[in-house]
Amino acid sequence: MTLAFIAIVFGLALLVWSPDRFVEGAAPQGNPGIVLGNVYGSNITLILRVTALNLGYTAYLITTILA
């Protein structure tokens, strides 16, 4: 349980830290379009992943309850 909690906290911290590093690296090179495209793309991908996980888990719960 403690290891899972540490992994979640570490993952969230990495999610907060990594976009800032990417933007700081790409923006000074004169590529703001790449930065915006990657930010939008990663957010869309994250939303789709969370939606897919929630739908899958909901389907699992429904089939478990109905069975």
pLDDT tens, residue by residue, 11-52: 888 877 777 776 676 666 777 777 778 878 888 888 888 888
What pTM value is reported for the model?
0.47
**Could you give the number of structural domains in the chain?**
1
Residue range of the domain that includes 20: 2-66
CA distance 3 to 9: 10
Q: What is the pLDDT of residue 54?
A: 85
Copy the structure tokens of residue 48: 């789709």
